[in-house]
Amino acid sequence: MKLPKLLDCTLRDGGYINNWDFSRNFGDALYRAVSAAGVDYIEVGFLEPGATSGLPWTNLSAEDLRSIRGDLEDGAAIAVMINYGSVTLDDVPDAKDYPADLIRVAAPKSAAEEATAFAAAITAKGYQTTINYMGISNYTNQEILGLVDLMNRFKDEVNYFYVADSFGSLMPKRTREIFTTLRFGTDAALGFHPHNNLQLAFANCLEAMEAGVDIIDGSVFGMGRGAGNLFTDAMLAYYEQCDPERYHLVPVLQFADLYMEAQKESYSWGYSLPQLLSGVFHCHPNYPTNLLREKAYTADDIYGMLRQLPESQKSRYSIEQLEKMKEGHFLNLADAAAVETSASIQDLCASHKQRALLVCGGSSVGAYKDKIAEFIKTSNVSVFAVNNPQPPLPADGVFFGNRRRVLQYSDQICAESEVIFGPEIHAGAEVNFALKKVSRVNALKVMPEGRSPYPMALPSNSAIEAILGLVQLGYKEVFICGLDGYTGGQPSHYYAEQDAVSVPEEIAKQNELITDELQVTQSLAKQLGFSFSIITPTLFKDYSAETPLG
């Protein structure tokens, strides 16, 4: 079997990880390493006039390319990438004025034919070219046959026809089917750009090689967006075994040792749950990334939501589509959930004159523990922790609005405690965890005419959901401690919280969402005749008690 050519795309694809913050020394050293190793091409960045970030790698000038090549005239051929639609043909200089050997054109499925014609027109300017068909896992068999037709029409004008496994979704069997179909239908040169979401990039390359692929992409340490790419270093290890005279692993290992360990320490790429789910569902990784980042859903919740993602929405990320998925998830839960009240909680409510205190997770609970204890003693309130069965204060029970928390803390729930479950908690939980005093609440059933004024059917914040749950159980006055709001740079919880929100944009988003939901809850309180107030220091000062503990 003839070994395909190799193209290293560390500088271009790896730049998505560090915003192309590579030193010129890094680029020069990589060029010399892959050249010595026998790699055929190195993709050094983009040709995109007007780009201002990630320079020089995002807008490489002729002088930049000459500098990279240096005096190594017999080194790897130099490639640059164009995202179709980002430049016009007039922006591409003639080859005599721009020392790139290969120009690659990345094509979305919606513009496959136009982008192929564009690549052919670049060939006429004196370059070798490739067309890269992105998101191949979302092509049907019929659409792949359509690519065969395109390849046959343009095979004399475009050097390589790539398929890109953009979401790392391909299985080896499907990879073999695609390349066997392409090779049977055309003698055009075929390329493969694998991603590693399912950790199958190497296995898929072996299948593509068996089917006759002509060129393969990789990056050192697999550096690249999301789960990363095929490892250039691993493929070179394989190639060296097959042809030790032609390929040499050590130069790239030397480069990796000197340069890539530092990149790995500073930046993150490779296997992760979001990237795995992106691969499983052939979808943009921002969908699973954002669902997991919210720390509000279990893995099977997210799996179920991604199953509902329409085919037409998978390749591009849409915040509107994400919110629609979440809303559908909550609506399904609320529609199906029953309401049950334990006899013991009815007695508890009556004995405390329909007054309750919710103990949330904020660090103010620890800071004001003694004052909160005094408040409990003098105010005659039922005490319920939120999503944590072991608060630092005596409590009558716990409210769980988040199934993820039930699973995390199930072994800590006292069988004799009052346990209140929101609609997210499955019907068999009390049996599974041997609980004796269980009530079930459904905030949607509290709302006038069953119509939710919240952005999603149920409040996304468990404390706010707990307020409505207590109202459903008969409480009229609810006090809250530990609803501090999220801040960066300091502990957000009174306990070690593995799901603490830490990403700055997520902190801002959560605070804004809580503010909106508190405002809606205040409006509901006026309609339904209950009250709530926060007694510890909080970012949500409009809802502080008249005499807060601080």
Count CB neighbours of 200 within 10 A: 21
Tell me the three state secondary structure of residue 233.
helix
Query: How many residues does this entry show for the chain?
Result: 550
Strand, coil or helix: what is 498?
Answer: coil
At residue 197, the 3 state secondary structure works out as coil
Q: What is the largest CA-CA distance in the chain?
A: 89
Label residue 400 left, alpha or beta by phi (over 0 means left) and psi (-120 to 50 means alpha): beta
First to last CA, the chain: 75
Nearest-5° Cα angle at 537, 536 to 538 = 110
Peptide bond into 93 cis (omega under 30): no
User: What are the residues whose beta carbons fall under 8 Å from the beta carbon of 445, sequence distance 6 or more?
Assistant: 339, 472
Secondary structure percentages of the chain, helix, strand, coil, to 5: 45, 15, 40
Q: Give the amino acid at 536.
A: T
Residues 314 and 138 sit within 8 Å (Cβ to Cβ): yes
Integer CA distances (angstroms), 34 to 75, 233, 245, 253, in order: 8, 10, 15, 10
For the chain, the domains span 5-266, 283-335, 339-543
Torsion of Cα atoms, 291 then 501 then 545 then 421, to 10°: 50
What order of strands is seen across the sheet that includes strand 531-534?
Answer: 437-440, 418-421, 397-400, 382-386, 355-359, 477-481, 531-534
What is the reported pTM?
A: 0.73
Task: Let me know: does 473 contact 530? Beta carbons within 8 Å.
Answer: no
Q: Sign of the CA dihedral 281, 287, 288, 291?
A: negative
Cβ contacts of residue 288 below 8 Å, gap of 6+?
273, 274, 277, 278, 281, 302, 306
**50 touches 82 (CB < 8 A):** no
pLDDT at residue 430, as a whole number: 59
- Which amino acid would we find at residue 255? F
Q: b/e for 99-110, b at 16 or more Cβ within 10 A? A: ebbbbbbbbbbe
Handedness of CA 148, 153, 154, 156 (dihedral sign): positive
Which alpha helices (DSSP H) does 38-101 contain, by range?
62-69
What number does CATH give the domain 5-266? 3.20.20.70
- In the prediction, which pLDDT does 73 show? 81
Backbone angles phi, psi at 368, to 5 degrees: -115, 25
Q: State the burial class of residue 308 (Cβ atoms within 10 Å of its Cβ: 0-12, 13-18, 19+).
A: exposed
Are 363 and 492 contacting, i.e. CB atoms less than 8 angstroms apart? Answer: yes
Mean pLDDT in order along the chain per 10 residues (550 residues): 94 94 94 97 92 81 92 92 95 96 96 98 98 96 97 98 96 97 97 96 97 97 92 96 96 95 88 90 91 83 91 90 88 77 92 95 92 94 92 92 81 85 75 79 83 81 93 95 86 70 79 93 94 95 85
DSSP designation for 257: I
157 is written with which tokens?
């004008």
